Amino acid sequence: MYIALFLLPALIVYLLFQIVPLILAFYFSLVEWNGISGAALKFVGLKNYIDAFHNADFLLSIKNMVKMVFFSVLFHTPIALLTAVAINTKCKGYRAFKALFFVPTVFPLTSVGLMWYFVFMPTGSLNALLKNIGLADRVVPWLVDPATAMNTIVFVNIWAGIGYYMVILLAGLTTISDELYEAASIDGATAVHKFFEITVPMLKSTISMCILMDIIGSVKVFDLVFAMTGGGPNGLTNLPTTLMYNEAFKYSHYGLGSAIGIIILIACLAGTLGSNFIMSRKHD
């Protein structure tokens, strides 16, 4: 009885701010509404979902999302693992390195986005540097050129996330007994052998968790894109999250925006279940 009482406040907050909006978002995804208080809501069934998949902007945002998830997963955990292992050797100045690598995680993503915007904008510091070192022909409008715009944002997302996964993996590394490494050394194992035969297998569950969090986190990225490009120019760097926002709040397509929100939810669930399935199969 008392336990239920203690759970109640959290449950109410959770229902009010998670479940109720979720149900309402699903309801709004089935109607058309012009975004004006008091205006009628017209039930249109699955039309908003069908429209979304016929919308070139949405398909481009899905492509951008796949790129974001793929490269984030590809680089985040491996780089984070290598830095964690390096720091775990407790080499000289390892505390300073640990703090430095973790700093980007402490900053809000909007600040990180703005900072990198000033680096990559056409008149930004990177292009100024290229000009000053005689590489003016390499100057590119990084966030405008279709060949570089999304890649630049993916790079910043990777840069901003490594510290976070590094700290998780570092915590995982402390659980591996030193005796295992000592025994391997006696058996003549090299550092590379120890890494692949002891560190990686022992961290398997931590790595799976990192990958899972990375998939969900990358699907949900919003603030970084919003701060760097706002999804532009003309939707080139939109992710489903920014497109959802633009459709609902800029174009007053609340139904379509809500449908995109539900699709993001399904993508997150699919990513989570998929990666869980792959990991559990490997365990078997």
- The phi, psi pair for 32, rounded to 5°, reads -115, 130
Q: Rounded to the nearest 5 degrees, what angle is found at the Cα of 75, between the Cα atoms of 69 and 79?
A: 150
- 8-state DSSP, 247: I
**19 in helix, strand or coil?**
helix
Residues 21, 78, 108, 122: which binds another protein (CB under 8 A)? 122
- Choosing from 144, 184, 202, 279, the residue that interacts with another protein (CB under 8 A) is 144
By CB under 8 A, the residues from 246 to 265 that bind another protein are 246, 249-254
CA torsion, ordered 231, 23, 262, 212, to nearest 10 deg: 100
Task: Tell me whether residue 1 or residue 36 sits nearer to another protein (CB atom).
Answer: 36
Total binding residues toward another protein, as defined by CB under 8 A: 29
What's the rounded Cα separation, in Å, for the pair 163 and 81? Answer: 10
Q: Which stretch binds another protein (CB under 8 A): 9-17, 118-126, 158-166, 257-265?
A: 118-126
CB of 259 to another protein, least distance (A): 14
Judge residue 222's burial from the number of C-beta atoms within 10 Å of its C-beta, 0-12 exposed, 13-18 middle, 19 or more buried: middle
Q: Does 227 bind another protein (CB under 8 A)?
A: no
The two most distant CA atoms of the chain are separated, in Å, by 77
Residues within window 150-209 making contact with another protein, judged by CB under 8 A: none
Span from 100-108, 183-191, 242-250, 259-267 in contact with another protein (CB under 8 A): 242-250
Q: Is 143 in the site for another protein (CB under 8 A)?
A: yes
Residue ranges binding another protein (CB under 8 A): 34-39, 51, 121-123, 141-144, 146, 229-230, 232-236, 246, 249-254
